Amino acid sequence: MNEIVIAFGMSAWFGILTSISPCPLASNIAAVSYIGGQHQGPRRVLLAGALYTAGRALTYTLLGALLISSTQHVSAVANFLQTWMNILLGPVLILVGLVLFDVIRFGSFGLQGRFGGIIQSRIGKIGVWGAGVLGIVFALSFCPVSAALFFGSLFSVAFRFHSPVAMPALFGIGTALPVVVFAFVIAFASDGINRAFQGVTRFEWWARKGTAVIFIGAGGYYIIRYIFEWI
């Protein structure tokens, strides 16, 4: 009984270790700014945090359920995700940053009129759900630390205790926990600034632009590191 409790604790700890290591720092900063930037109140931040956590937990659970029982594919999947997701992530982050910056508008792609308006309003509403998508995308973007702790440390424990679902899910929750806590701190601190200046609209504008800058910066980092391999 004690052993399995320790194993569940270890699964979450491996996730926390992944999150606090330097290698996913750029994506963590982007996630913190996105979740903390949900400035329509603490409930929105809570919802965005929960969706980000759910996105990460779902991704790791699916990978765990698929790979723990058939370990011969672990190496191929791990290497594929580490190579291609990090290459894709840079341009995607920059694209999201440009949308948040209003540099890219849906009218620019010929989606004008009623249809374009519908998409634009949906994008506006997707804000909080975007946190869930972000959780999935960031979970799939493995770096050496997350790959070693997920495919190595967690898999060996989950395999031993026949837990291809619960332990990977706990790992996912662990990876999201530090990000969500930071996002809360930032959200409440900015809420205080917001109230002090009584300038809701102006503050929202700055928060959105700040998140856009962080996304573009993080995207640039991924492009330099994984496409050009300069660092």
Partner 1 sequence: MRLTTILKLAIMLFILCSFGTGDFMTGRFVSAAEKGEGRDHYIQVYYFHGKVRCYSCNMIEKMTVETIRTFFSEELDKGRLKLSVVNVSTPENSHFVKDYGLYSQSVILSEMKDGKQASWKNLIRVWELLNNEQKFKEYVREEVTNFLEKTDE
Token digits for 194? 């917001």
Rounded Cα gap, residues 146 and 8, in angstroms: 18
Please identify, among the stretches 18-26, 124-132, 200-208, 209-217, the one whose residues bind partner 1 according to the rule CB under 8 A. Answer: 18-26
Is residue 175 involved in binding partner 1 (CB under 8 A)? no
Is residue 23 involved in binding partner 1 (CB under 8 A)? yes
Q: Which is nearer to partner 1, 80 or 109 (CB)?
A: 80
**CB 155, CB 67: distance < 8 Å:** yes
Q: Contacts with partner 1 in 184-213 (CB under 8 A)?
A: none
**What proportions of the chain, in percent to the nearest 5, are helix, strand and coil?**
85, 0, 15
Q: Which is nearer to partner 1, 4 or 77 (CB)?
A: 77
Is residue 152 involved in binding partner 1 (CB under 8 A)? yes
Please identify, among the stretches 21-29, 113-121, 123-131, 205-213, the one whose residues bind partner 1 according to the rule CB under 8 A. Answer: 21-29
Residue 167 beta carbon to partner 1: minimum distance, rounded to whole angstroms: 15
Helix axes 74-100, 113-140, angle to 10 degrees: 140
Q: Which of 34, 52, 138, 151 binds partner 1 (CB under 8 A)?
A: 151
Q: Which of 42, 117, 144, 199 binds partner 1 (CB under 8 A)?
A: 144
Is residue 88 involved in binding partner 1 (CB under 8 A)? no
Residue 144 beta carbon to partner 1: minimum distance, rounded to whole angstroms: 5
Is residue 112 involved in binding partner 1 (CB under 8 A)? no
Rounded Cα gap, residues 39 and 25, in angstroms: 23
DSSP states along 136-170? HHHHHS--HHHHIIIIIIIHHHHHHTT-SSHHHHH
Is residue 153 involved in binding partner 1 (CB under 8 A)? yes
Please identify, among the stretches 124-132, 146-154, 168-176, 193-201, the one whose residues bind partner 1 according to the rule CB under 8 A. Answer: 146-154
Rounded Cα gap, residues 23 and 17, in angstroms: 11
Residue at 39: amino acid letter = H
**CB 173, CB 53: distance < 8 Å:** yes
Rounded Cα gap, residues 120 and 109, in angstroms: 12
Residues with Cβ within 8 Å of 155's Cβ and at least 6 positions away in sequence, in order, are 64, 67, 68, 71, 74
Q: Which of 63, 89, 147, 169 binds partner 1 (CB under 8 A)?
A: 147
Binding footprint of partner 1 on the chain (CB under 8 A): 14, 17, 21-23, 71-72, 74-75, 78-79, 82, 86, 143-145, 147-149, 151-153, 156, 225-226, 229
